């Protein structure tokens, strides 16, 4: 895929990885296969593209990789354990790759969006509702109640942070994963 893209379009200057991927599943419904599927869907879907691209960027001495990861890697959720594990692995890979390739002109950064108005979050709220024995509307209201800003993010807001991190305005930002969850999990890093 990378070879075909670079042949037809040219070198990849910015790579944005963004896959919702891992299915949200109540813990009693998990199997080892579900954990494997989550790692394939989220972690390896990113790594399989990052690996050839980061090496080519390093050879050229420039490039930016932005990984849209997810708060599930920092804050455990009973219905998002395999996906959260994949997210945690991606945060570590993001920091490690940034360190490995910084001196060669490549920046690698991550974004951890919290609840965002997407079909994937709606699916997750269904799993939350099943686990808690409540309606989907109640699960949504509970989720929003935990966000001090009082609402979910829009996809456009996440995209705006991606654009900033990929731009030259963020030229000294690398090796970090930016939390954007409306202060749902305020931390000092």
The DSSP element (H or E) to which 2 belongs, if any, is helix 2-8
Where do the domains of the chain lie?
2-180
Beta pairing partners, 108: 65
- Summarised one tens digit per residue, pLDDT across range 131-177 is 889 999 999 999 999 999 999 999 999 999 999 999 999 999 999 99
CATH architecture of 2-180: 3-Layer(aba) Sandwich (3.40)
What confidence score (pLDDT) does residue 63 get?
98
- pTM tops 0.85, yes or no: yes
Question: Residue 43 — very low, low, confident or very high, per pLDDT cuts 50/70/90?
Answer: very high
> Secondary structure of the chain: what % helix, strand, coil (to 5)?
55, 15, 30
Backbone angles phi, psi at 123, to 5 degrees: -65, -45
What confidence score (pLDDT) does residue 189 get?
64
19 close to 42: Cβ distance less than 8 angstroms: yes
- Summarised one tens digit per residue, pLDDT across range 95-131 is 999 999 999 999 999 999 988 988 888 888 887 888 8
In the chain, the N- to C-terminal Cα span, in Å, equals 36
What confidence score (pLDDT) does residue 54 get?
98
Structure token pair of residue 166: 């990929």
């Amino acid at each position: 895929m990378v070879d075909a893209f670079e042949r037809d379009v040219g070198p990849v200057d910015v790579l944005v990885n963004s896959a919702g991927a891992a299915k949200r599943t109540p813990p009693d419904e998990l199997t080892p296969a579900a954990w494997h599927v989550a790692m394939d869907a989220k972690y390896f879907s990113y790594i399989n593209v990052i690996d050839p691209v980061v090496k080519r960027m390093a050879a050229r001495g420039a490039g930016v990789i932005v990984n849209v990861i997810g708060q599930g890697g920092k804050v455990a959720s009973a219905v998002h354990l395999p996906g959260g594990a994949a997210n945690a692995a991606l945060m570590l890979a993001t920091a490690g790759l940034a360190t490995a390739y910084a001196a060669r002109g490549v920046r690698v950064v991550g974004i951890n969006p919290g609840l965002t108005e997407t079909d994937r979050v709606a699916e997750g709220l269904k799993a939350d509702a099943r686990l808690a024995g409540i309606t989907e509307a109640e699960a949504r209201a509970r989720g929003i109640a935990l966000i001090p800003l009082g609402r979910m993010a829009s996809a456009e807001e996440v995209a705006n942070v991606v654009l900033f991190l990929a731009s030259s305005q963020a030229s000294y930002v690398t090796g970090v994963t930016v939390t954007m969850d409306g202060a749902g999990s305020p931390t000092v890093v």
